[in-house]
C-alpha cells in the first residue's frame, strides 16, 4: 500500500508531501509536534496527546488550523488510509510560510501534517538485556528559556545530548539540569526503583510531561507499588535497584548501567517486568479504533 501523508487538508503520496522552504517550522524550528503509537488498529492515549499538543500550541501562541474534533478525524483517517495495525503517528504543526525574518505574524496560516509510519528506536536485544547509558555535558533547557514541557520542533538541546552519547559509544544520554539534578533522557523520561518504590523526577526539574510516564505512574498505583515524584541526583541513579526509560516510541526500556556503574545486579529487574507486562496488556486493550 502506498504511504499517504495528510498535508494541509489533503492526503498525498509521500513523494508529493512537500512544504515551502520559507516555512518557519524549517527556518526557525517554529512549531510543535506529537508522537503517538497505535496497537492492533487502535491509537493509544489519543486524548492525552491532543491535550499536550494544544498546551504546546498555547505556549508558543500557535494556531492549530483544525478544531480538536476535526484534527482527531484527520489523524484517524490518516492511520486508516495507511492500513498498519501497529505503527507510529507523527502530528506536526508549524507557524507556516513567512518571509526570512522571524516575525511569526507574517506567517498567514499554520502548516499541519500527519505522518503514519513504522518505528523502531532500539533493537529488540536491548529490551531483553537493558541499555548502558551515560550523563552528558549538555544540560536540559530550563523553563527560563524554552520550557521542557513544550513539545516543540526545537530539539537541538536533546540532539546535542544524543550526539555526545553517540560520540562516547552509547545509545542514549541522561540530561541534567543547571543544578546537576536528573531531568530525563533525550526522548524519554527516566525512572528508578529504590527499595520497592518507583521514583521519577518531577517535570519542573526539566522534563517533558510524558504520556508513557503518566501511564506508568497509574499502572504502578494499580499494582500497589508506591510511586514518588522526587528530585534525583546521579547518586540516586547509581544506587538504584532498577532503572528504566519511558516513551511512546521506546515504550519501557530497562537500563542496566549508568556512567560505568552497574544498576542493581545488572539484570532487568522484577519491578520493570511487572510494569512492562501491565503496560503491554493496557496497550492491547485500550485505544481509539481506526480500522
Ligand atoms: N521526553 C522527551 C524529550 C520526549 O521527546 C519524549 C517523547 N519521545 C518523552 C520524554 C516521552 O514522552 P511520551 O511518553 O509522551 O512519548
Q: Are residues 74 and 166 in the same domain?
A: no
Q: Are residues 33 and 169 in the same domain?
A: no
Phi-psi region of 264 (alpha: psi -120 to 50; beta: other; left: phi over 0): left
Q: Are residues 35 and 78 in the same domain?
A: yes
Per-residue pLDDT reduced to its tens digit, 227-242: 999 999 999 999 999 9
Q: How many domains does the chain have?
A: 2
Q: Are residues 57 and 147 in the same domain?
A: no
Q: Are residues 212 and 85 in the same domain?
A: no
Q: Are 181 and 205 in contact (CB under 8 A)?
A: yes
* Closest residue CA from atom 7 of ligand 1: 187
Q: Which CATH number characterizes residue 75's domain?
A: 3.30.470.10
Q: Which CATH number characterizes residue 199's domain?
A: 3.20.10.10
Q: What is the pLDDT of residue 120?
A: 87
> Given 117, 143, 171, which residue is the final one in a domain?
117
CB 110 near ligand 1, within 6 Å: no
Domain that holds residue 138: 124-285
Res 9 pLDDT > 90? yes
- Considering the candidates 4, 151, 171, 199, report the single residue annotated as catalytic: 151
Mean pLDDT of all residues belonging to the chain: 97
Using CA atoms, how far apart are residues 192 and 275, in angstroms rounded to an integer?
Answer: 12
Q: Are residues 51 and 152 in the same domain?
A: no
Per-residue pLDDT reduced to its tens digit, 267-280: 999 999 999 999 99
Q: Are residues 164 and 211 in the same domain?
A: yes
Is 151 known to be catalytic? yes
Residue 36 lies in a domain: yes
Residue 290 lies in a domain: no
CB 246 near ligand 1, within 6 Å: yes
> Given 117, 145, 160, which residue is the final one in a domain?
117
Residue 234 lies in a domain: yes
Q: Are residues 132 and 235 in the same domain?
A: yes
Atom from ligand 1 closest to the CA of residue 213: 14
Q: What is the pLDDT of residue 211?
A: 98
Q: Are residues 102 and 179 in the same domain?
A: no
Using CA atoms, how far apart are residues 231 and 47, in angstroms rounded to an integer?
Answer: 29
For a ligand 1 pocket test, name from 206, 208, 251, 283 the mutation site with the most ligand atoms within 8 angstroms of its C-beta.
208
Per-residue pLDDT reduced to its tens digit, 196-211: 999 999 999 999 999 9
Confidence of residue 153 (pLDDT cuts 50, 70, 90): very high
Q: Are residues 137 and 267 in the same domain?
A: yes
Q: Which residue has the cell 529504590?
A: 194
Res 121 pLDDT > 90? no
Atom from ligand 1 closest to the CA of residue 214: 14
CB 252 near ligand 1, within 6 Å: no
Residue 93 lies in a domain: yes
CA distances for 123 relative to 37, 44, 216, 291, angstroms: 17, 22, 22, 27
CB 161 near ligand 1, within 6 Å: no
> Given 52, 82, 117, which residue is the final one in a domain?
117
Res 1 pLDDT > 90? no
CA 9, 84, 129, 191 dihedral sign is: positive
Per-residue pLDDT reduced to its tens digit, 50-89: 999 999 999 999 999 999 999 999 999 999 999 999 999 9
User: Torsion angle, CA of 145/148/151/154, rounded to 10 degrees?
Assistant: 50
Per-residue pLDDT reduced to its tens digit, 85-119: 999 999 999 999 999 999 999 999 999 999 999 99
CB 35 near ligand 1, within 6 Å: yes
Ligand 1 centroid, distance to 282 Cα (angstroms) = 19
Q: Are residues 81 and 187 in the same domain?
A: no
Q: Are residues 112 and 162 in the same domain?
A: no
Per-residue pLDDT reduced to its tens digit, 160-173: 999 999 999 999 99
Q: Output the DSSP codes for 88-121.
A: EEEEEEE--B--SS--GGG--S-EEEEEEE---S
Residue 92 lies in a domain: yes
Give the percent of the chain with pLDDT over 90: 98
Amino acid at each position: 500500500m502506498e504511504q499517504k501523508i495528510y498535508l494541509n487538508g489533503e492526503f498525498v503520496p509521500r513523494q508529493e508531501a512537500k512544504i515551502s522552504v520559507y516555512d518557519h517550522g524549517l527556518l526557525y524550528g517554529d512549531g510543535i509536534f506529537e508522537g503517538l503509537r497505535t496497537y492492533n488498529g487502535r491509537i493509544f492515549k489519543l486524548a492525552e496527546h491532543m491535550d499536550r499538543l494544544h498546551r504546546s500550541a498555547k505556549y508558543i501562541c500557535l494556531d492549530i488550523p483544525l478544531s480538536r474534533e476535526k484534527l482527531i478525524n484527520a489523524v484517524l483517517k490518516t492511520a486508516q488510509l495507511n492500513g498498519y495495525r501497529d505503527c507510529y503517528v507523527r502530528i506536526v504543526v508549524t507557524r507556516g510560510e513567512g518571509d526570512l525574518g522571524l516575525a511569526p505574524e507574517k506567517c498567514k496560516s499554520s502548516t499541519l501534517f500527519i505522518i503514519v509510519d513504522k518505528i523502531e528506536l532500539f533493537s529488540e536485544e536491548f529490551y531483553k538485556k537493558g541499555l548502558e547509558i551515560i550523563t552528558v555535558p549538555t544540560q536540559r533547557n530550563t523553563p527560563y528559556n524554552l520550557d521542557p514541557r513544550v513539545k516543540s520542533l526545537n530539539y537541538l538541546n536533546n540532539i546535542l545530548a544524543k550526539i555526545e552519547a553517540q560520540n562516547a559509544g552509547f545509545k542514549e544520554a541522561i540530561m541534567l539540569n543547571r543544578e546537576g539534578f536528573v531531568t530525563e533522557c533525550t526522548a524519554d523520561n527516566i525512572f528508578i526503583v529504590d527499595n520497592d518504590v518507583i521514583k521519577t523526577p518531577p517535570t519542573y526539574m526539566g522534563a517533558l510531561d510524558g504520556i508513557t510516564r503518566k501511564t506508568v505512574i497509574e499502572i504502578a498505583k494499580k499494582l500497589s507499588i508506591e510511586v514518588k515524584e522526587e528530585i534525583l541526583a546521579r547518586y540516586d541513579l547509581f544506587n538504584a535497584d532498577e532503572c528504566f526509560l519511558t516513551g511512546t516510541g521506546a515504550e519501557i526500556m530497562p537500563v542496566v548501567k549508568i556512567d560505568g556503574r552497574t544498576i542493581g545486579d545488572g539484570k532487568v529487574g522484577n519491578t520493570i517486568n511487572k510494569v512492562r507486562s501491565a503496560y503491554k496488556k493496557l496497550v492491547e486493550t485500550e485505544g481509539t479504533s481506526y480500522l
